[in-house]
Structure 1
């Protein structure tokens, strides 16, 4: 489903060129999950941004079902983000002016894939059904993260990208959120690439990948 080949990315800083990714290769088959680990600054978030089309690589290839991502125009990348992927971040990125129900269905409506039955099911499974008329500021951190997961899954994307989705939660809440994420990703028929610093959580995913100084390390986590 997702193939990354010899990917390079650097940024220009006041001190000069800063290499971030230095020839990254990885493969994520359809319906599988992968934990992306590594120390801060190893390029994990940058890799997710490149796959999402939020940044452009210096060289290398990102293939989605065999089709290159690079070279696409901005409108095509926006369509990929709208239809092909679900994004979940540690900061939640919910829309404060929309209630829970509207936040939950926002991505699916943009993608013209709103399925009321699936949205209702997500709300029930994520424990959001009693909270649909509340606003994000009225939710706990765990509730906001579950809402962010539901919003990303509502359109049944082919690929879920999650950047430290449990990073701000305690251990018990992290376990609950990850269990829900893995189960619902499977029910949606999506693949999952998740950044995490936790070896314990990484072990719950079907594959593990470790980045060090912008390169994939061969050892298992």
Structure 2
């Protein structure tokens, strides 16, 4: 309230001094009262533009230039209206109203600015993500049961066959090898009894002893083990 009153009084005093200056220089009546507005109005317009720029959070160089031009022009013209004076206080008295008008109107705009800012909603910076206060609970992703598929037969691994460890093969003795060669001759000769010459030749091929006595003894042992071999026809007759 006091700021508004101070602003009004300061502008009135500045207008009055500029009116007197205009009247002294061939402006009369309404024109003398309108002329101060061409100077002091720049202060008000500049201050309002500064308020607008501050609300938009930017700097307006034109607003500052208008305010400075109006203030300096008003102060200079008020001081010039004093004329030649030997008392410095005359100049101070003339300069106080425009200076007070500038400062008082600036304080008033500051108060208006704070009031408007307090009424505005808080601005969320664009760089900060807006997070909802409500907790969002995502439903668990429960897969729908698929249609009953054909039951796959359970595959059971067959147990590996247990193999009994093979008994170590015993090496055949020379006698066993001789008997084996002789027994094979019965089959080679087409189920016939081999003669001594057959046995001797077969044993010689295997690098085994092949005397006549050895051949006869071997054939005897084989036929003792398998008596039916004695009944086979001799290979010589064939």
TM bucket normalised to smaller:
under 0.3
- The structure where helix makes up a greater share of residues is 2
Give TM-score, length-normalised by structure 2.
0.22
State the structure with bigger RCO (CA 8 A, min sep 6), 1 or 2. 1
| Alignment TM-score, normalising by the size of structure 1 | 0.24
Higher strand share: 1
